[in-house]
Structures are given as C-alpha cells and as structure tokens.
Structure 1
Amino acid sequence: MKMSKKTLPIATICAWKPRIDPTPDYQRPPAWSRKQKQLLIDSILREYDIPKMYWRSVERDDGVRYEVIDGQQRLRTIWEYQAGEYGLPRDTDPIQGIAVGGKKYADLDMDISTVFDSYAVDVVIIDDAVQTDEEDEVRDMFLRLQNGTTLKAQEKRNAMPGQMRDFAKEIAGHAFFENCKFSNSRFTYDQVASQMICIEMAGGPASVRDSDLNRIYRENTTFDTSGKTGKKVRRVLDYLLRAFPEKTPELERYNAISLYCLVSTLIGGYAHIGTEADLAKWFIAFETDRRANDRLEEEDRDPALVEYKRLTSYSTDAEESIRSRLEFLEKLFFSAYPDIELKDSIRTFSFEQRLAIFRRGLGHCQIKTHCTGEKLSWGEWHADHIIPYSHGGKTTVTNGQIGCPSCNLAKSNTID
C-alpha cells in the first residue's frame, strides 16, 4: 500500500467535490453537530492547523477518483459552509479586526473569504487497493485513524474485513428494515441484521451484545453467504416482508428481533406457507392490547404483559430476555392459530418408500408441468411430496409421487 502527500487549497477541494466519495461503505454517516462544524470553520479562518485527511485513490465508473478513509466530517463541514448551509455563531470574535459573527461564506469580507479559499489542507493519498489483503489494510487503517473518537460499536464492525461483515451489510439492505419504526441512523440496520445472524448461527435465542457480535465478525471472516445459515436468514426476512409490506410503527427494534425468532421457529418446524397475514394480524392486535394495558391503573394491569414490557425495557440484548420474549409470543401465537401443523420430523423418503412410489407410478413423471409424463429410469427421478413438506405434507408413500427433475424444480413448494 503506497502513500503520498498532497497539500490542497480548500478552493480545489470544493471544486473536486463531484470526484470525492466521503462515505464509502466502511465509513460512518455524518455525525457532527452544527457547533462542531462552526468551530472547525472558525479554526480555518484563523489559520489554525487542522488534522490531515486520508483519501484512497480509486477508478470508479461514476467518475469518483477518491474515497475518504479519514476526514469525512471535516470535508463535509467545509463543503457545507462553502455552499452557504450555515453561518458562524453570532458571538464569534472578529478576525483581523473584521466582523464575522453570524456570517455565511457568501457574506464574508473578501479578505476573509480569501483566507478560507486558500487555506492549505494536508491530504495523504493511498494508492488504489485491488487485492483483498490490501482492501483489508484500508479498513484496518480506517479503524486505527478513528481510535479515540466516538465511533459506535457497529460503526467499528462495519469497517472490519471479512465475509461476515459483507453478509451483514447485504442483510441490512433488505427491504423489511425500511418498514420498521427505527431508522438506519449510524448503521442501526446493520446492528439489528448482525443480531439476527448471530441468533440464527446459534440455532435460537442467544446473547447479541456488542461483544458477541464482535466475536462472530472476527471468527467468521470466511463465512459462506450462500450456506444454510445465510439462506435461512434471507428466508425469514422475506417472510417478514410479506407479512409487513408497509411501514409498521409497531416494529421497534426489540420487536424485530422477537419476530425474527418467532418466524425462524415457524419456518423451521411448522407448515408455515400462507401464514404471513395471520402473523401480522395477530402481532398488531397483540401490540394494541399491550399498549392499552400500559394505560390502565397499576392494579388493573395484566401481570404477564407487565413482565413482557420489562423484558423489552432492560437487557434486551441478553439471551434470557430474548428467550423469554420468544416463549411468551410463541404461546400466544400458537394459541391463536392452533391449526398450524408441525412438519413431519422425517423429510427425506427412505429407499423402500422411493421404490414403492416408483413402482406405483410405473416410472412415469406424475407432475407433468414441463413434460407429458416422461418415462424415467431409476436414477433420473425425484421423489416429490404431493402436499409440499413446507405446507405440512407428510413423508409417506401416499403423499409421494414421481417427478422428472424439470417438473419437480418448477413445482417447488406449490400445491397442484
């Protein structure tokens, strides 16, 4: 990784704005307050030193030539002031005897605006990193440069190298999160997505504190995003999106985690196809009742709902809290919908069952969606559940039929 130093006037940095990406994916979102921004501009106008910036040289199709590794907040502050988005505090002391209090860039005396335009910023340029190990070096540099700043835990994880970080970033982009009450301020979606992944990897409720998430990021740098866990996480979130296709104010962070656990259980062990609307109706009714319970006099409240609220208010990331919330919701949901069936504990047809199905069907495809009943040899066919396993179909000879590979794959989990 090669580095070189440039000294650029602010006028040039502003002119280059279309070519600079201040927030590559490992960067945190803008976080400075107006007071912090005003202090930086005051320092520049008084020609005090400010820390150097670190940019990465890139060649991107969108015309961007630099990605900011360190200095994003300072860079945005400079651009915003030059664009007239805010002024200095009204009580700012004069500079060189010239009043600057309350003034935006366009209002500055020409001598003062010249100081701003010509102020020299030191920028360290890192050559484009193409290899994976060099990419990791850039992320490591970002973390080192942020040491001592107020980065939140997920902002630090977002800069970690490895497949787990990439998978969490992918899951955080799932459309379900846009329908939740909470926003993506400072990578909140990434935080919740990481917690869901952690729970799925554990096979059920688990501690999802920052130390736990840091561990799975460190220990799963080669995580298989197309493996069993990755597929299950996507299936659960796809289900949740079908259940809640619109913005749902009841979907707070703790509820998103609780519902993830409930749906993961539902998909894993029950005939869940077509249950999305039932789950959404039940959950919204439950939240309505719970909130109404909060408004009652203390002696009139349902103790079970009071305890549930306690679990959502303290140590919400602890395994005990998540497990207790799940058990409570499972009891209510399956009581409301007692006809939802458990899946057969055996999913795969045995050799004897396959043989009986094959002989009964005379070796011909019985699905007939992509063929007209093709004659198949023993090694060329699939044993298909007539009523799909995900709908509660049993793994029995009676519920089995012959399918050619094309017809069976096209049928998927639909019912003829």
Structure 2
Amino acid sequence: MDLTSDKITIKELLELKKNSMLIVNPEYQRAAVWSENQQKKLIDSVLRGYPLPLIYLHHKKRVIAGMQSEGLEIIDGQQRINALYRFGESALKLFDPVKDDKVARFPSFIKDTPCSWARCDFLSLPDDLKTRFLTTKIFIVKVTTDIEDEARDLFIRLQAGLPLNAQEKRDAWPGGFTELVLKLGGKPEITRHQGHDFFNRHVSKNSKDRGEVRQLCAQICMLFFERLEHGNWSDIGTQKVDDYYYRNLGFDIDSPLVKRLLKALDVAVQLFSNQTSPKLKGHEAIHVILLLDSLIYEYAPNWKTNFIRAYDSFKAKAANDKKQRSGEYWFEYGALTQTQSAEGRTIQRRHAFFVQHMMRELNPLLLDTNRIFGNEEREIVYYRDQKRCAVCKQEIRWQDLEVHHIEEHQAGGQTIIENAVPVHKDCHPKGQKAVEFRLQWLENNKPSESDELLRELGNL
C-alpha cells in the first residue's frame, strides 16, 4: 500500500463527485447518516477557517476491454464530502447564530460576532464568500493498492478509534461552568484540573474513566445550584446536561453558590477520610452532598460525629432490601436508582427518603430551634402529606411550599415535623385563622378510641 499526502480545493472535490470520479463503495461504507444540522455546522466551520480532518481516498485504476478507467473511492470522509456537496448545490441554508440559537447552540463569542453567511445557501452567498468556500483546501491522503481488502482493512481501522462521548464533547465547551466541572471533577492530563479530593478519593470510578466522574460532578452542580436558586429538581439526563452547559456559558466560578458547594465537598472529604467501605456510587454522592449542604448551614455541628454511622446503617438496610427486592429501602430508594433515575422527580423522591432516615439517625439540632424548619424537614413534611395543602387540600408546587406550625410558635409550638403541615404561601393561616385552623386540625386528627386503648395498654 502506497500513501500520498495532498491538498485539494473544495471546488475540485465537488467536480470529481459531480463527474462520478469520487464514489462510495456501498459494500462496506454506511449510508449518509449526518443530520442536516451537522452538515450546516461543518460548512460554518469551513467559512470560519477551521481545519477539517483528513479525508482518505482510494486511488483506483482499471483496464476494462482495453480502456483505462481512473477514479477515487472514499475510504473515510463520506459524511463531510456529502455536506460540502449539498451546500455547493444550494441544498442547505446555514444557521444564523442568533436567530437559530435554540437549534444551533453556538457559544457566546460567535453569537456576538456578525455573521455574513447567516441563513444563506451557496447561491445567496456574497461573491467573496463563494470564492472562500470553493478555494478552501482540504487535506487528503491518497491510498494506492491493488489489494481491495487492504483498503477495507484501513477503513475498519480508521473507524475503530473511540468517538468522543457526551462529556468529552462538553469538556471542549467554553465558559465558566465547563471550567468549574473540570476543576472539581478533574482531568489529570491538565495540570490545573487535578480535581477535588471528594471526586478523586471517595467516588467510585472505572479504570477507563472517560469523563463519567466529570459528568457526575456536572449533575451534582446542576442539582445543587437549581435547588438553592430556584427550588427546582433538575432532570440530569444527557440532553438536560448539555442544555445546562449551554445556558451557563457565562457562569461565575467565584459566585457564593460555588463557595457553598466547595464547603459541602470539603466536609464530605473530612467525614469519609477514614472510611474503608466501598467508594460512593453516583446516586450516593448526589444525596450525600445535598444533605451535607443542609446540615452545614441549618443545624448545629453535633451531627458530624454520627454521620458515617448513620450512612452505614442506611447502606446496610438498602443492600438488604435490594437483595430481597422488597421493603421500603428498595421501593423508595433502590428501585429508583434503576428506573427513570435521571428524572428530577425521581431524584427528589429518592432524596426525601434518604433524608428522612438519615435525620432519624442523626437527630440534629436546628441552629434556630425557635422558628425555622430546615430544608430537610420541609421535604419530609411535603412528601408525608402527599404534597397536599393542609388548608385548601390542593397539590402544592415545591416553589410555593411553606410549612405551618399547627401549634403556633408564638403559643409555644415546637419546630418539629409532628407539629408541621404543608401549605401554599397564599393559604398560610395567620392570626385568628391560625387559631381556627389548629382547632379544626385537632378535631379532624384526634385519636380514635382504639388508638387510645392501645396507648393505655402500652403504658401498662
């Protein structure tokens, strides 16, 4: 096999294809699979002067019935050539980086720069851009061999390289959120991105990690920031993570929220530093960090002593129920790590169960025991009462939730979940209405005679 490196203009490439001198061997080549959006992005790259990958062509000569035929068969580069050809035939109209933002999703520095080919096909391009497109040189490798199987073997080897996965593509995005995920999740080949100890030492990873830990880091960041800023539980599937990266190109890596996240990660490292048990799985890491954030800022630090014991207890019970495929730890947690596990509502339900059982073990003291329900108690009360308002009985969106003291705080009511009910902001009873609500609630929830009898028997 002989290999010859060369350069060819797009105009020459298109003329070869038009004259059937540049062909595809359908026996081993796949059909055209690029979407129109991918094709448009390639043409945009050409007009911006971005270099394209090498194209491999099999130079073939044949003598048939005393006549010689010569042409080029595409080994690698079919999708790129098809995109160039379609645009040359005015079958594509290019993206406007601003008007087509939702589909094109260009970074800010491109959207902020005037684009003279926006919404143009080839015929509507200004003359100077037509010339730029046609005279752009493509790097090619011409392969000459009389053994057809050598060309096929080369094709197979060129396709054998691992394509970039979703997170590896995100790592190339500009912006502050990318920088944060690289800094925390780590990319060891980059000196300044060695990663936070939480992800390096305490999160489980496979030996051929290709960004899975950084993806988990991005998902934790999304859940952490959205929950604190908007009270939302984000979906964290592939497309949602992509969208979050795009929406946060201008993310401030020095924001107070980042400092708060770093605090939770630092505390996690302290707590797990002497652990010899298995490293945290992805879902475990998510719930640990979210819970630690609430504990750090809403409770006295007495919980730290018992955190690992409580966590180990939860893990043991979850493992037992998982083996049996039964029990609350399976139905309310384990099964939810396997089905629709990236949906925000699933994560929220799972977290509420995790928090409920961790708090039962930890029994932490609120920093302000006189007044405020912590975020974890709010979630427990919210799910305990099936998300229904105690006043109007309608479903409450998380963003609209307030927690009401049945026995009012000013009347000596304790800030404990047994004295709490969920209400809408607009339904929250105050003044005389709060008194009336308490009386009505006590009437509706007074124990039955059988409950009283059981209690008396239990005191004997």
TM over 0.5: no
More RCO (CA 8 Å, sep 6+): 1
Larger radius of gyration: 2
